[in-house]
Structure 1
Amino acid sequence: MDQDGFTMWIQLLVSQIAIMTLTLFPIRLFFAAFMMLLAWPFAFIAVMGRTEKDLEKPMTWWAKFLDLSLKAIMRTMWFAGGFHWVTVKGQQALPAEAPILTLAPHSSYFDAIPVTMTMASIVMKAESKDIPVWGTLINFIRPVFVSRSDQDSRKKTVEEIRRRAHSNGMWPQVMIFPEGTCTNRSCLITFKPGAFIPGVPVQPVVLRYPNKMDTITWTWQGPGALEILWLSLCQFHNYVEIEFLPIYTPSEEEKQNPALYANNVRRVMARALGVSVTDYTFEDCQLALAEGQLRLPSDTSLLEFARLVRSLGLKPEKLEKELDKFSESARQKKGEKIGLKAFAEYLNLPVTDKLEDLFALFDEDEEGAIDLREYVIALSVVCRPSKTLDTIQLAFKMYQTENSQTIVEEDLAVILKTGLGVSELNVTDLFRAIDEEDKGKITYDDFDRFAERNPHFAADYIYPDQIDSGTCLDSPSAIAPNGFCTDFTPEDMEDLLTQASKKKLN
């Protein structure tokens, strides 16, 4: 399509959205909301006086009537929203055959369509049950609630899923999105193990939205929830395909290894979708796309660092509380390097191949020794990727002299190289801009004042010449093939991961 043709297409698209916004959109929104309100009394009657023992008994004719009525109402709601055709392929298994349904890819809140069509149970945060109208509808499908205020909630959730999965079909199926977050459907990211820990057969279910224009996808970047709703309701037709794949029965090895089970099911689903898989996890995506004054470059080694940290059983969300302790311990070393054995003792871990790989990321000269301060900086970025200035302040405390509390240009270069996960970085111009009095040294207060006056200092002094910031990971305005959401293609990401694994962190 030439430039004139593209411009004309954009003008037609804008005109269509404008017309639909003034005509069909409010009508659809009204009827969709009306159908949800209509569903509320049916759900309220169904859950009124219901006990947990009732849930484990076969449904009465009255309960079946309410169930069918709610399914019909919710299907009408989706129809009113423009989902006129919902194509279902394959056959849904019985709860006794496959107690758990695993759905992927998870890309939108419109993925609730298969939930309302099957009325399967889902895992929901406990706060959802208190939402007016919606909470009653949620309670009807007998969800597994997760409480953020309960420290043991995750463990209890897994135990509840296990209990239901081993009930011989007495409970409804549990529907789980094992990716744990929304992606743009270009690949399947690492599955979380929760659905596979019970070790029972699962039925994979794949979702497709074969629309000419993608207004469905809701990811880390791109349109927000309300904008997605608006754009989708402005479409004449929205298509969705739900395919129930054959039941996957785990081997004995897979029963003992939920991660292996999850990975094998993911590959089956990826083949059915015709997409690739990537070892990136939700946490990796959060790190790569974090909003901070020092946005990570596309080839950062910190993604590989984060993977290795998690593979060693170290959880960044818990380690964040101990960053000050780690930094003080590293500061006391005063730049004295330590070997692999001492590093293992520092982390309280045995020496393994993965620990050696982690150690190698910081062993710039391959001399068998590393500076602990660099490990702490990298860990701080992974623990709090959007708080880059906090990481720099932590680094200053470790590198500054005790008397003047200053650092020199060489120290700043190490701090920023490690914090960005790159092997080469020229910070001379940045250091001179901060060092206004030309002392040859700066304090954190100097850096903080400069950053406050120059909020885009990274783009002005670092990114243009040193870092490739033109990739989808770095540009929040990058446009993907679907026209709305940032791309996250497995080929590009796997190449970046391979490159990163070969780089040093300093």
Structure 2
Amino acid sequence: MRANKVLPRSESLVLPEVINPFVHDLQLTWWEKLQVAIMSVTIAPIRLVSLCVILLLAWPVAAFAVAFRSKEEKEQIVPVRGWRRRCSGRLLEFMGRACFFVMGFHYVNIKGIPASDIDAPLLVVAPHSSFFDVLVFFVLKNGLPSGVSRIESAGTMLIGTLATFTQPIWVSREDPNSRQNTIKEIKRRAQSKGEWPQIIVFPEGTCTNRSCLITFKPGGFYPGVPVQPVCLRFPNRLDTYTWTWEGPGAFTLFWLTLCQIHNRFEVEYLPVYKPNEEEIADPKLFAKNVREQMTKCLNVPATDHTFDDCRLMTYAAKLKLPMASGIVEFNKVNKKLGITFEAAKAMLEKFRQIHTGKEGKITVQELAEHLNLPVSEALEDVFTMYDRDNSGTIDFREYVIGLSLVSEPANTEDTIQLAFQLFDSEGKGYLSESDLAQMLHNAFGMNEEGVRKLFQQVDKDQDSKISFDEFKAYAKQKPEYAKLFMTYQKLTNSANSEQPFEEQIDNDAKQKQD
């Protein structure tokens, strides 16, 4: 069996330990199913009614406090003050905690010492895994904090009024300046020396399954003020809380949680993290170092997944691929390979063109069919360069790395020019079907039907000739060809001890310069 030929690689691009932080597979035992069935007709309905009653009682309290705000308070130039902050705030905090109590969160285990709003204007909360995470808003010692919320939430009946009372920092998807305005507002409030309530941020930006901490967004770290990391845990054996991109829906999780006798929730406050000068100047470094402290507390790894991985998962589903196919640890491939989201999305489309099945992994046969070639030694060698974990298949992450490090670097103007010359042995300036047939048959064992099919695809103007421009355009569409011919030439030259293909390209390039 031939050894797998791999490219030299840095440790930063090996497969991640945590393959998919965006999936939650909830399995119930027969006893748990029986419990859900019994609770669904006994306790859960009572809990639901109680929850609705408390929310209905909380709404007029919030509405009354919001209605009597001054103009400056409405525009959030100054924070809500006076009786609204002291009385209404405490009452709504109690009602919020009561909502979770009737849902089965009877007590919250709090570890560590919460810092004051002066010592830590920002609370960095992770992992963000559920809509139940909002319970942390109602167990703080310094009153109701503010959060960051979509402006659309303000118009939502009941919940919108309650959210408005907490004086959140509103984010608008329609406003192109929203991101910068949000950062400025966080900075303004964070530097107010306790005038504004503490701000809670969930820096991961999306929900995960708590198996790791994904990349922290730097927005909350731009102010450069001390932050207090806050770690969340749901220690119940049955996890009915985790709400991810792939897994049970929100209502299913909500109802299953109501059907639990007791729901455990833990909040651990870590020591206040004060940034140094380097971290103040570099918010991404600040965020990374805070995350490192939290991973140690939670005993989970840190990964380079981001919200863009979730977007790629959604796009993978649209392409009829498994959602997990879109995960690439986007932040890592972006930093190491310079791949943008749009480029990754285009690569996913190409991946789908090659992979015709439902498994989300390319086989060597599928790669051969994509290139209109039979499986050969040269093709298998290229395939193994992509197959970084030696699994016999290529997943999307391996395809992205392989395309960036293997095929596209080989697909240069010089490579294409020399490959064209190999086909055009007579120097006619174009390729006939017989030129193509002779080379492809000798190199890859391709039959006449395969050659004819490939020739028709390359010959766009159907004049029975392939010009260099047509040859180049097709090679750009399928950069695997360049590496394939380089690999074939290397195998041939190693057998004949001739000049390697790469050296021919280098020599041609030098001659052009001379």
User: Where in structure 1 do 4 or more consecutive aligned residues deviate above 2 Å?
Assistant: 51-63, 284-290, 292-300, 302-321, 356-371, 399-408, 411-418
Q: Is contact 1:308–1:358 with CA below 8 Å preserved after alignment?
A: no
Give the aligned residue type for 1:87.
N
The DSSP-based 3-state class of the residue aligned with 2:105 is coil
TM-score by length of 2: 0.61
Task: Within 5 Å, give how 1:461-472 maps onto structure 2.
Answer: none
- State how far apart, in whole Å, the 1-side matches of 2:153 and 2:300 are: 33
Counterpart pick for 2:137 among 98, 115, 118 = 115
Counterpart pick for 1:63 among 72, 75, 85 = 85
Q: Is contact 2:190–2:223 with CA below 8 Å preserved after alignment?
A: yes
Q: Is contact 1:28–1:81 with CA below 8 Å preserved after alignment?
A: yes
Shift of 1:149: 1.2
Counterpart pick for 1:80 among 94, 102, 112 = 102
Summarize the Cα distance change of 1:413–1:170 in structure 2 as closer, same or farther, 3 Å threshold.
same
Shift of 1:295: 2.7
Task: Within 5 Å, give how 1:139-150 maps onto structure 2.
Answer: 139-150=164-175
Q: Deviations along 1:430-476, whole A, 9 cap, x unmatched?
A: xxxxxxxxxxxxxxxxxxxxxxxxxxxxxxxxxxxxxxxxxxxxxxx
Q: Does 1:36 align with 2:55?
A: yes
Shift of 1:28: 0.7
Q: Is contact 2:334–2:340 with CA below 8 Å preserved after alignment?
A: yes
Shift of 1:287: 2.4
- State how far apart, in whole Å, the 2-side matches of 1:232 and 1:294 are: 31
Counterpart pick for 2:112 among 67, 90, 100 = 90
- State how far apart, in whole Å, the 2-side matches of 1:131 and 1:288 are: 28
Counterpart pick for 1:178 among 203, 207, 212 = 203
Q: Does 1:225 align with 2:257?
A: no
- State how far apart, in whole Å, the 2-side matches of 1:133 and 1:107 are: 24
Q: Give the structure 2 partner of residue 362 of structure 1.
A: 407
TM-score by length of 1: 0.62
Aligned residues: 351
Shift of 1:111: 0.4
Q: Give the structure 2 partner of residue 24 of structure 1.
A: 43
The DSSP-based 3-state class of the residue aligned with 2:29 is helix
Q: Is contact 2:204–2:215 with CA below 8 Å preserved after alignment?
A: yes
Q: Does 1:239 align with 2:239?
A: no
Q: Give the structure 2 partner of residue 99 of structure 1.
A: 121
- State how far apart, in whole Å, the 2-side matches of 1:274 and 1:45 are: 45
Summarize the Cα distance change of 1:92–1:370 in structure 2 as closer, same or farther, 3 Å threshold.
farther
The DSSP-based 3-state class of the residue aligned with 1:150 is coil
Q: Is contact 2:304–2:329 with CA below 8 Å preserved after alignment?
A: no
Give the aligned residue type for 1:116.
F
Q: Deviations along 1:134-166, whole A, 9 cap, x unmatched?
A: 011000100000111111111111111111111
Q: Give the structure 1 partner of residue 225 of structure 2.
A: 200
Summarize the Cα distance change of 1:115–1:404 in structure 2 as closer, same or farther, 3 Å threshold.
farther
Task: Within 5 Å, give how 1:367-386 maps onto structure 2.
Answer: none
The DSSP-based 3-state class of the residue aligned with 1:188 is coil
Give the aligned residue type for 1:291.
A
Give the aligned residue type for 2:460.
E
- State how far apart, in whole Å, the 2-side matches of 1:11 and 1:80 are: 25
Summarize the Cα distance change of 1:305–1:138 in structure 2 as closer, same or farther, 3 Å threshold.
closer
Q: Give the structure 2 partner of residue 349 of structure 1.
A: none
Q: Deviations along 1:270-303, whole A, 9 cap, x unmatched?
A: 1111111111222124425631446379899x83
Task: Within 5 Å, give how 1:213-362 maps onto structure 2.
Answer: 213-288=238-313, 290-293=316-319, 295=321, 303=328, 307-309=332-334, 315-316=340-341, 360-362=405-407
Structure 2 unaligned blocks of 5 or more: 1-27, 347-400, 417-453, 485-514
Task: Within 5 Å, give how 1:378-397 maps onto structure 2.
Answer: none
Counterpart pick for 1:403 among 461, 484, 487 = 461
Q: Is contact 1:99–1:173 with CA below 8 Å preserved after alignment?
A: yes
- Larger Rg over CA atoms: 2
- State how far apart, in whole Å, the 1-side matches of 2:29 and 2:330 are: 42
Structure 1 unaligned blocks of 5 or more: 1-8, 322-355, 372-395, 425-506
Summarize the Cα distance change of 1:298–1:64 in structure 2 as closer, same or farther, 3 Å threshold.
closer
The DSSP-based 3-state class of the residue aligned with 1:36 is helix
Bigger mean CA offset, 46-55 vs 14-23: 46-55
Q: Does 1:210 align with 2:235?
A: yes
The DSSP-based 3-state class of the residue aligned with 2:271 is coil
The DSSP-based 3-state class of the residue aligned with 1:187 is coil
Give the aligned residue type for 1:94.
S
Summarize the Cα distance change of 1:280–1:51 in structure 2 as closer, same or farther, 3 Å threshold.
same
